[in-house]
Amino acid sequence: MSSEKAGKIENPLASGVQQGLIPQPCILVIFGAAGDLSWRKLMPAIYNLNMDGLLPSNFALCGFGIGAQGDGDTWLRERAKSGIEKFSRQPLVQSHYDDFERCVFYIEGSFNDAQAYSRLKAKLEELDQQFGIPGNRVFYFAVPPTVVEICVSRLKSEGMVLEEETATRFTRVIVEKPIGRDLESAKAVNAAVATAFQEEQTYRIDHYLGKETVQNMMVLRFANSIFEPLLNGKYIDHVQITVAEEEGVGTRVGYYEGVGALRDMVQNHLLQVLCMIAMEPPYSLAPNVVRDSKTEVLHCLRPFTPGDVERSVVRAQYIAGEVHGNVVPGYRREVTDFFSKIGKTAPTDSTTETFVAIRAYIDNWRWAGVPFYIRTGKRLPKRASEVAIQFKDVPQILFNANPDVPLDPNVLTVNIQPEEGLALRIGAKLPGPKVRIYPVKMDFNYQTGFGKDNPEAYERLILDVMAGDATLFMRRDQVEAAWRYLMPVLDAWENSRVRYLPEYRSGTWGPLEADRLIEADGRRWRLL
């Protein structure tokens, strides 16, 4: 938090206001500003922050990278505009956009070109003068992990990184996932970033953590006395975490092939969500205290033996099928088409998984013996993400005595997308002379309940970086602990040398093997 910085001059006008929420004057430098992430997510997020009056008054945005056509500033402004028009939560209002675009600039240059960094540096210094910014920088690496090292190295050699934050100046860096493709490469990326940026200056972003319902998990657990006492092995039968996507890899084949669902989704989003639902209560809301609690969960995950990988992990690949009535191709076909389109030889026997299901255990006092079933996949019947906490059955007496009339267990569901909200399933008596129990759902939906648009995750997270609040960002040890947990799986897959994965038809809920995994425990996947 900024107020903790040594030598920082306190602003009396800010006293009484939550420090973490005050963004500080800065220039946001987007590396890879010509890319998809910048267009779809970052520019609309920054525009929305501007619309909501949340950006600091002394603010400028400078894109950096290759791909501009013509005058760089004009090109980026046009691209930002089209991204806002297409993806922004709030519509483009011309008068606001005119203000916004006046602080958007672009420097064309390769990430490996020392002269380009000199130009960038000069531009940023010019913008400092123009916008009254005291030299503060947020570097957003919206680039592949392979170029992070060179970007960091160039920034450092050009003297664009402060060694540590001072009273009035800071340099912060946002690193996008994936952080590496295994433990070793993640360590290498982290080490490369650490050559220039201290851990306090580094913000590893996982946009799932910026979602309202994910943040609400902590509130749900620690601001309500009715749930927390029940969230342990005594009362919980199991937990299911699902992130289902209806889209295939589409245009992302180039990135996805060779990466797969485990690296793309499980290592970051799903394990982070698991940490939120399973963590012990932190003793304060200070960023590092919260992150300590989450990291402990990762340390408690039961390591996989090679036999466990066989029994507890399922991977699969989608084949052709139908989604929403449209015939869609299989994964291998998409890969072949993509590579032939760009004139490269396509891997004909891709074993990149598009679906993963895992049975995980957290070996600590609270969760001993409670399975956590995790699944994620592409080309499933619908886009839906949720955490479902299923309570144990009541004893088989009274209302649960008759095996012909099973009593549905209670389930607490946290919906992450597309609708954000939570629901509790309970049994209630149907009206009438007989005692008949019927499951009813008590539902809370963010939009209908609170009646307003939730800010996009990126909005919240970018604002947090400007304010110096790292609570919702992954720390180095978290990232590496998550990789460490999954390495036996990656190694086993690497060593198996299989040429075909289990398959599932597009538009179904995954392969039979995934059903068998959970059914072997006498349970079933939830129908979303």
Q: Report 318-347 residues binding another protein (CB under 8 A).
A: none
What x-and-dash track marks residues 181-220 binding another protein by CB under 8 A?
----------------------------------------
439 binds another protein (CB under 8 A): no
Q: Report 25-54 residues binding another protein (CB under 8 A).
A: 25, 50-53
Task: Single out the catalytic residue among 96, 207, 238, 269.
Answer: 269
Binding another protein by CB under 8 A: which of 3, 4, 11, 114?
A: 11
Cβ closer to another protein: 59 or 338? 59
CA distances from 368 to 240, 300, 361, 371 (A): 16, 10, 7, 9
- Length in residues, the chain: 528
CB of 13 to another protein, least distance (A): 4
What x-and-dash track marks residues 384-423 binding another protein by CB under 8 A?
-----------------------------------x----
Reported as type and span, the H/E element at residue 273 is helix 271-278
Cβ closer to another protein: 302 or 383? 383
CB of 213 to another protein, least distance (A): 16
Task: Give how many residues touch another protein by CB under 8 A.
Answer: 41
User: Which string of b and e fits 257-271 if b means at least 16 CB within 10 Å?
Assistant: bebbbbbbbbbbbbb
Distance of CA 55 to the CA centre of its chain: 23
Encoded tokens for 366:
């609270």
CB 347 within 8 A of CB 335: yes
Cβ closer to another protein: 452 or 497? 452
Residue that has been written with the tokens 């007989």 in this structure: 434
Cβ closer to another protein: 30 or 127? 127
Helix and strand tally (H, E) in the chain? 18, 17
CB of 452 to another protein, least distance (A): 6
10 binds another protein (CB under 8 A): yes
Q: Is 324 a catalytic residue?
A: no
Cβ closer to another protein: 67 or 135? 135
Stretch that binds another protein, among 16-24, 32-40, 376-384, 404-412 (CB under 8 A): 16-24
Q: Report 115-134 residues binding another protein (CB under 8 A).
A: 129-132, 134
Of 446, 444, 451, 400, give the one whose Cα is nearest residue 424.
444
Distance CA 213, CA 197 (A): 31
22 binds another protein (CB under 8 A): yes
527 binds another protein (CB under 8 A): no
Residues 6+ away with beta carbon under 8 Å from 484: 183, 298
Instruction: Provide the 3-class DSSP secondary structure of residue 275.
Output: helix
One-letter amino acid for residue 363 of the chain? D
Distance CA 412, CA 388 (A): 6
Distance CA 187, CA 340 (A): 34
Binding another protein by CB under 8 A: which of 448, 496, 516, 519?
A: 448
Cβ closer to another protein: 21 or 435? 21
Distance CA 377, CA 353 (A): 9
Q: Which residues are catalytic?
A: 269
Contact set with another protein (CB under 8 A): 8-17, 22, 24-25, 50-53, 55-58, 93, 95-96, 99-100, 129-132, 134, 167-168, 419, 445, 447-452
